[in-house]
Chain A
Amino acid sequence: MKSIAMNLLGRHADAEDAVQEAFLRIFRGAARFRGGASVSTWAYRILVNVCYDMRRRGRRRPESPLPEESELRGGALRDHPLRLAIEKALEHLDPRERTAFLLCEVEGFSHREAGEILEVTENTSRTLLFRAKRRLQKELASGGAFAPAEAR
């Protein structure tokens, strides 16, 4: 949950606040859960909505010194220029496309699960991801982000 929040909000402190707020909303909303989705996707939906709310409010609190992001999956890619370029390019995407990309490509959710989280159909999730990747591809290509590998 922290990972999604971090990618949507961009700061460790905000991500942790979002996770805490999501748990509170889950607690408050438990009685309204009626089995229309799995508990996990329902919880992630709440988290994503919390992140959207925080972004809308432009909430930011000062980043406290944190230990290094220790165990990134694929740690060797940590400072990969393409990764940094993607992080930057993600900011230019439509929020739903960005979330679809983060859920499916980064967190590994299926389109069915991502659809439940985004409250759209499986096909719409697939379309959102396609559009997100297409836009990223164009943005990265125009910024020359693919060039180093081409040269290798």
Chain B
Amino acid sequence: MKADCRDLEKALAGENPVLAAAFEVHALGCAACGRELSEWRRISEAAASLRRAWESPELLPRIRQALAEESVRAATDTDASPRRRFVWVPAASIAALFVLATVGLWVFRNGGGREPLTDHWRTTKAPLLTDQAIDEVDAAERVYLSSIENLSRLAEPALSGAMSPVLANYREKLVVLDAAITELKASIEQNRGNTHLRRELLAVYQEKQRTLQSLMKEVKS
């Protein structure tokens, strides 16, 4: 293939590598085209130096703080939004049943049903968020997590053989969510009573659940 001055625009556009190569040969013997090509390359070379990097040690803590505040706001908003309230209904029902059962057991086991619960709180110096309460949250989380894991197992065959870009994107999103779950769990291990982190973890679990559900829909369709 031969190229000449009229091919300049097409060659610079870079859509056709064969034409671009032929134009380079032409430019060796043509001063005007050689200059155009040289300027074009120099822009690309200089562009690489426009990439910026600077230290900003305060940025990540700022983002974490903003996300924690946002997750608290989001949890509060669920009370106001009918659509979101619907999403919470099954989880909230299970959690409410679990809390009722646990409180019931606790009352009868510790007080034998004789002592009113409020009196017990008045006479003890236990902090509001006790280890026991945290254990209960952990147990509820395990129940919720196992249902998500069931969904994950259902989705696994579709994801492992994912050929389409859409399924690959779902897989990528799930990898990101799993990484976030791992990181949050590690942070919670160091501070078990941090309610912000637990809300964030719940939000990520919910997102994983929604993602798996829409993935299953995608697979079926």
Interface of A toward B, CB cutoff 8 Å:
2-3, 6-7, 12, 15-16, 19-20, 23-24, 27-28, 30-31, 33-40, 66-75, 77-78, 80, 82-83, 86-87, 101-102, 105-107, 126-127, 130, 133-134, 136-137, 140-141, 146, 149
Contacts and interface: CB of A to CB of B under 8 A. Distances in A.
A78 B212 CA distance: 47
B218 interface: yes
Contacts of A140: 39, 43
A72 B170 contact: no
B173 A33 contact: yes
Contacts, number: 133
Nearest to B170: A35
B172 A38 contact: yes
Interface stretch (B22-30, B65-73, B99-107, B110-118): B65-73
B46 A107 contact: no
B7 to A, nearest CB: 14
Contacts of A23: 63, 66-67
Contacts of A24: 66-67, 70
B47 A106 contact: yes
B174 to A, nearest CB: 10
B189 interface: no
Nearest to B53: A71
A33 B218 CA distance: 13
Given A20-B63, A23-B66, A83-B46, 13 more contacts: A15-B52, A16-B56, A19-B63, A20-B59, A35-B170, A72-B53, A83-B49, A86-B43, A106-B50, A130-B12, A130-B13, A133-B43, A137-B40
Interface of B, helix, strand, loop or mixed by DSSP: helix
Nearest to A141: B39
A7 B52 contact: yes
A152 B169 CA distance: 49
Contacts of A30: 207
A122 to B, nearest CB: 11
A40 B173 CA distance: 9
Contact of B49 (A28, A78, A141): A78
B108 to A, nearest CB: 41
Contacts of B14: 126, 130
A39 to B, nearest CB: 5
